[in-house]
């Protein structure tokens, strides 16, 4: 038997194997595409409804906007902009507080030696295992005793405190993975620990900081339960305002304006889309930073 004859069955088997892999891959991508379309359809329907007059939505719910109108967005913007500004202030201040407190604490856990360091870090890890819903009643009682109910400060203080365990865990893990030689060289040059933190550790930890920012932004921005317990109706955050946003239709006062409502939902997603657009690269780096060791 010649070499060419011996190679033919092998080549045929390889072709069959490639064909099998190709069919499986096509099936996988087809299933993923179907699931993606299923997930995107409610978003498409929401955007479509936001570009149509409310009476036409009640007549034909699934029709396309022809022509699209922007009056619903103007109405939602005027009605919801105060709630959006309050939400952004609370979210930005809370995230700044989380990072400002968690960064030096994490650096101390990772780079400094002090009595009880291991026990304190274990306590931080233990706090991660406590479901947040269990702490609602104790936090509500504490906020009432401290006079924080009814104010945005009552939200921010507990958001900052509640975000510490997760941020400290991620930052401590990353700070420990940084090269010790860099910090030793900085100390030889006379740099203090604070200087090493600000000039070396935190710039290197930018992907982790962005990851914490994105995850805490989603947690705080989308929170419904805690603001509903803490805030009066005159100071609602955006999620609470959307839940109660029920503008009537001029022609049918008894029915809500679905066009303005869905425009409000689209309007509420814009800050999250902007955050992901600018922070996605660092967010992915932060999620995968500990998966591969150099």
Q: Residue ranges per domain, the chain?
A: 3-50, 71-288
Confidence at residue 172, expressed as pLDDT on a 0 to 100 scale = 92
Angle between helices 206-221 and 71-111 (to 10 degrees): 130
- pLDDT, averaged across the chain: 85
Residue 15 confidence (pLDDT): 57
**pTM across the whole model:** 0.81
Tens-place pLDDT, residues 9-59: 555 555 555 555 667 788 888 999 999 999 999 999 999 999 998 888 888
Q: Which CATH entry fits the domain spanning 71-288: 3.40.190.290, 3.30.420.40, 2.60.40.10, 1.10.3720.10?
A: 1.10.3720.10
End-to-end CA distance of the chain: 50
* CA dist., res. 284 & res. 276, Å (int): 11
Whole-angstrom distance, CA of residue 217 vs CA of residue 275: 9
What percent of the chain stands above pLDDT 70? 87
CB count within 10 Å of CB 229 equals 16
Predicted confidence at residue 292, as pLDDT, reads 42
The distance of Cα 196 from the centroid of its chain, to the nearest Å, equals 29
Ranges in the chain, pLDDT < 50: 4-5, 7-8, 290-294
**Cα–Cα dist 98/215, whole Å:** 12
Q: For residue 156, which of 228, 96, 85 has the smallest C-alpha distance?
A: 96
Q: Give me the sign of the Cα torsion angle 214, 215, 220, 221.
A: positive
Encode the chain in three state secondary structure: CCHHHHHHHHHHHHHHHHHHHHHHHHHHHHHHHHHHHHHHHHHHHHHHHHCCCHHHHHHCCCCCCCCCCCHHHHHHHHHHHHHHHHHHHHHHHHHHHHHHHHHHHHHHHHHCCCCCHHHHHHHHHHHHCCCHHHHHHHHHHHHHHCCCCCCHHHHHHHHHHHHHHHHHHHHHHHHHHCCHHHHHHHHHCCCCHHHHHHHHHHHHCHHHHHHHHHHHHHHHHCCCHHHHHHCCHHHCCHHHHHHCCCCECCCCCCCECHHHHHHHHHHHHHHHHHHHHHHHHHHHHHHHCCCCCC
Residues comprising the chain, all counted: 294
Q: How far is CA 86 from CA 23, 35, 75, 155, in A?
A: 52, 36, 18, 11
Given this model, what pLDDT does residue 106 score?
93
């Amino acid at each position: 038997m010649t070499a060419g004859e011996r190679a033919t069955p092998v080549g045929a088997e390889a072709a069959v194997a490639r064909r099998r892999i190709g069919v499986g891959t096509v099936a996988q991508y087809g299933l993923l595409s179907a699931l993606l379309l299923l997930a995107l359809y409610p978003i498409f329907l929401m955007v479509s409804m936001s570009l149509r007059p409310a009476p036409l939505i009640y007549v034909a719910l699934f029709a396309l906007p022809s022509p699209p109108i922007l009056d619903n967005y103007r109405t939602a913007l005027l009605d919801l902009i105060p709630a959006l500004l309050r939400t952004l202030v609370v979210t930005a201040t809370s995230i700044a507080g989380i990072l400002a407190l968690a960064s030096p604490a994490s650096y101390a856990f990772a780079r400094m030696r002090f009595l009880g360091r291991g026990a304190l870090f274990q306590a931080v890890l233990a706090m991660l295992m406590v479901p947040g819903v269990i702490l609602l009643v104790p936090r509500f009682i504490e906020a009432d005793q401290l006079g924080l109910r009814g104010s945005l400060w009552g939200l921010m203080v507990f958001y900052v405190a509640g975000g510490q365990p997760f941020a400290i865990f991620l930052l401590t893990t990353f700070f420990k993975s940084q090269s010790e030689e860099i910090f030793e060289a900085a100390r030889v040059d006379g740099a203090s620990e604070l200087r090493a933190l600000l000039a070396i550790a935190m710039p290197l930890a930018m992907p982790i900081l962005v990851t914490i920012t994105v995850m805490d932004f989603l947690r705080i921005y989308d929170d419904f339960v805690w603001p509903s317990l803490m805030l009066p109706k005159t100071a609602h955050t955006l999620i609470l305002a959307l839940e109660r946003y029920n503008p009537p239709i001029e022609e049918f006062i008894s029915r809500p304006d679905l066009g303005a409502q869905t425009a409000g939902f689209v309007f509420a997603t814009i800050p999250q889309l902007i955050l992901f657009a600018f922070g996605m690269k660092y967010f992915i780096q932060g999620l995968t930073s500990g998966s591969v060791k150099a």
